[in-house]
Amino acid sequence: MKYFPIFLDTTDLSCLVVGAGEVAARKVELLLKSSAQITVVAPWACDTVKEFAEQKKIKLHVRPYAESDMLDQQMVFVATDNGELNVAIHDQARAQKILVNVVDNTPLCQFITPSIVDRSPITIAISSGGVAPVLLRYLRQKLETVIPHKVSLLGQFSEKFRELVKQKLNTVTQRRYFWEDVLDGDIAENIYQGKVEQAEQKLLAKLEDPETKQTQGEVYLVGAGPGDPELLTFKALRLMQKADVVVYDRLVSPEILEMVRRDAEKIYVGKAKSDHAVPQEKINELLARLALEGNRVVRLKGGDPFIFGRGGEEIETLIDHGVNFQVVPAITAASGAASYCGIPLTHRDHSKSVVFATGHLKDNSINLNWQGLAQQDQTIVFYMGLTGLPIICEKLIEHGLSPDTPAAMVQSATTPRQKVVTGTLSTIQSIAEQAGIRPPTLIIVGSVVSLHKKLNWYDENN
């Protein structure tokens, strides 16, 4: 290990930056996140450095560097385009036992600045020793996606109770088990939600009896999005990875189900056309029962829980049973489908508004405000409309839309199985039948559909 990783206390640290171009500005910007006292010396300064000086964040001397500038400094960054000057400053710093970093010149660096994931007070620093900066950036991006942004609040919470926990629990092992349980349970979730007082009460109660196990779980209504796992939110993935039980429906793609915690129990409650594997009322009661048994339950729903996802009905039952819950929104199927087939839901030249409607048949009818839907300059998206397609087309034409109004059907949107067919209100039914379109399918009606061929960027045949 050539470079020893270390975190410096910057409370009284004096740092000199020689150079004031954009490269130096990036180092200054990084240093400003610390408590260091920063002095910049250069014959000229870029606008960014000048702004820092005007805001009194740094001391700026617009003149050539002098060896006396090294006086009382404890750390030096050198960022000039003069190679001889860089070497000279490096030698002076080393002679005076001052830490020195010559930017983009690793052999002249006594220390290097790592790539940082900043969730203060939680700080993660990673380094490649200057040999693989692109790989380093790639790894940092990965870390950014798996570490919750609000983990900083959890760090502050842990700091507040650290001494009390040490007083109450005598051994390192006891404290480790205690904190592992706190950080992986509902106390941490309360912190992420900003319910600090509730989290504190639970922690204090747990300290009084550390052996007491959590008696009630929680339900997370998680939107799985339209199908592409890369469209999941960070929060959705985090909760999926900590679930004890996952209750999922037919619209959750296999690729997304693969991202659930491996040892979680998985319960299928999907609904296909005219075939409800589990009635909605029983799903509601199932979620409440599982949580009351102490499980962390993820209710994984295709699309968004509150857009034709019946999430509202489910949380009403949870409230009735006194069960804690969270709702994690997602990219709804309409937005995902439209984006992946090059059909903007609104467009200045085509559509001034967009309406989502259900095309679900009940008693062989679709009870909708057809007059309100059949408007010019409006995009209509029908969920679950494949069976009712003939009625949808007939009613829209009957209430004023032209039979030539463009229409599209999108099957298995955003996944490798995506299939898109386009036509008009008068032709889309026969075109869909010839193409063998099957659920899950969305119907998009409106002038924007005419943009599909021009704007389509996602090749569903890949």
Annotated binding-site members:
22-23, 43-44, 226, 302-304, 307, 332-333, 384, 413
Rounded to an integer, what distance in angstroms lies between the CA atom of residue 265 and that of residue 287?
13
Known binding-site residue numbers for NAD(+): 22-23, 43-44
3-class DSSP string for 73-136:
CCEEEECCCCHHHHHHHHHHHHHCCCEEEECCCHHHCCCCCCEEEEECCEEEEECCCCCCHHHH
Task: Determine the residue type at 362.
Answer: K
* Cα 292 to Cα 269: distance, rounded to the nearest angstrom: 19
Read off the DSSP letter of residue 451: G
Geometric angle at alpha carbon 145, from 235 and 411, rounded to 5°:
65
Residue list, annotated binding site for S-adenosyl-L-methionine: 226, 302-304, 307, 332-333, 384, 413
- Residues labelled catalytic: 249, 271
Whether 454 contacts 410, CB under 8 Å:
no
Single-letter amino acid code for the residue at 236: A
Tokens of 416: 């490798």
Give kind and range of the element (H or E) at residue 443: strand 441-445
Query: Cα 190 from chain centroid?
Result: 18
Q: How is residue 239 written in tokens? A: 């909760």
Residues 289, 321: Cα–Cα separation, whole Å: 9
